[in-house]
Amino acid sequence: MTIGFWLNIIVMLLFIFGLFFLQKKHVSFSKRVFLALAVGIIYGFILQWIYGPTEQVVIDLINWFNLVGTGYIKLLQMIVMPLVFISILAAFTKMKLAKNVGKISFLVIGLLVGTTAIAAAVAIATTIGFDLEAIQIQEGDAEAARGEALEQRSAEVEGKTFPQQMLDLLPANPFSDLTGARPTSTIAVVIFAAFIGVSFLGVRRKSPEQAEAFEKLVDTLHAIVMRVVTIILRLTPYGILVIMTKAVALSDIDGILKLGKFVVASYVALIVMFVIHLILLSVAGLNPVTYLKKAFPVLTFAFTSRTSAGALPITIQTQKSLGVPEGIANFAGSFGLTIGQNGCAGVYPAMLAIMIAPTVGVELTPSFIATVIVIVAISSFGVAGVGGNATFAAILVLSALDLPVALAGLLISIEPLIDMGRTALNVSGAMTSGILTSRITGEIDSGAYQNLENRVEVEA
């Protein structure tokens, strides 16, 4: 190892110690996350400027930095399945949810899928407006390798009919799905938890004492899982620091610049869809500015961490601060991890489909566009909320449309950049579905919604 290598290790340790010092000084979580984001970007650029993205010293540094960055991601992945499972169960154990669980489930899922269809339409309009086509993007070695990997992954779903893909969502072995063994494991866990929850409601009617014992067990497990999540969230600034350093240091800057048009178009579509969330709240008679103020911490966390699943506890707490009952908040947050992610399962696959279609001679007719929207909405089932799920959603959509999956690999150099915005939109979509469901069922606490002092400060 060279002197430069050890100097850079020391620099990273100093950055980590600085964040720890700020935590001890009680600097707010959001400020520490944004500081880590900025420092990571700057340090990544410095490493790239001094060494270049392909030098062995940079690769060696990143391998050591991954102890923090990849370690943080693995801890988030570790808690996803327990978190989703116990959150769904906790939703069923709430008293008010028992009266209209069917209606609430239908509304939450309907709003998630409906807004995903709208997101697909917005993405299509943006792609056509910016005149984006896959043929405009030059393919390098990294893009070719990513394309081959996507083709291999698409073999898992290629040839399956729609009914077969729907059957894949069911938990034949829920214990295997709790390990995340399949791409659709998350929604399988949701379905398994929902079956247990419905059974709990039946037991509560016939044997209240047994149901009460189960409810106490669920409450205890829920408290413990949430405590584990809190411990992991405390590592977020350190994880963000290293993740951003790695992303920038290893990025193909020239490739990013060449794909600048796609980046701009992606964020235009994401912002337009976020505005639509605000419009939907306004139509429901709710102040969108209040939503913005209260949702800012969790949207910031989702943007910087790029994980909808890791944001789940904050997503639920933010909804509660907006007057949403805890049961509905749990449902909306948990279902939002697996169904109808507006950014990853809506905007992204639709943009890819419209970009790739002309390269194989498919005309963008109204019927084709309508088909894309329907397939995007249906394929949005089973997309989990931790890293790489936009890719899985794209594979499902492109395979269903019989379009070349490998061309999706052309965007590898800008994936981290646009994934931040996609994740924030996913979380906003989940919260919007919970708020609107509460409004429709008449269970929202309007006073709590308007009370700006009742905010969730992401503090760890």
* Residue 233 within a domain: no
Is pLDDT at 160 greater than 80 in this prediction?
Answer: no
Q: For the chain, give the mean pLDDT.
A: 83
180 assigned to some structural domain: yes
Instruction: Compare 147 and 196 and report the one with higher pLDDT.
Output: 196
In a domain, 3, yes or no: no
What gap in Å lies between CA 355 and CA 125, rounded to an integer?
Answer: 11
Domain boundaries, position 339: 89-207+252-450
Question: Tens of pLDDT along 230-270?
Answer: 888 888 889 889 988 887 887 767 666 667 788 899 999 99
What are the tens digits of pLDDT across the range 396-430? 788 778 887 766 666 666 777 888 899 999 999 99
Does residue 182 lie in a domain region? yes
- Is residue 428 a contact partner of residue 301, using CB atoms and an 8 Å limit? no
pLDDT in tens, 368-394: 999 999 989 888 876 655 555 667 777
Residue 260 within a domain: yes
Cβ atoms of 174 and 189 within 8 Å: the answer is: yes
Beta bridge partners of 307: 386
Examine residue 419 and state whether it is found in any structural domain, yes or no: yes
Q: Identify which of 435, 326, 371, 447 has the alpha carbon closest to the alpha carbon of residue 120.
A: 371
> Residue 236's closest CA among 19, 78, 453?
19
Return the CA Rg of the chain. Answer: 22
CATH at residue 399: 1.10.3860.10
Put simply, whether the predicted model's pTM sits higher than 0.85 gets the answer no
Task: Name which residue leads in pLDDT, 459 or 263.
Answer: 263
> Is 456 contained in some domain?
no
Could you tell me which residue, 407 or 283, shows the higher pLDDT?
283
**Does 20 have pLDDT greater than 50?**
yes
Q: Could you give the number of structural domains in the chain?
A: 1
Q: Identify whether 105 is part of a domain.
A: yes
The pair of structure tokens assigned to 335 is: 């279902």
Structure tokens at 407: 């061309």
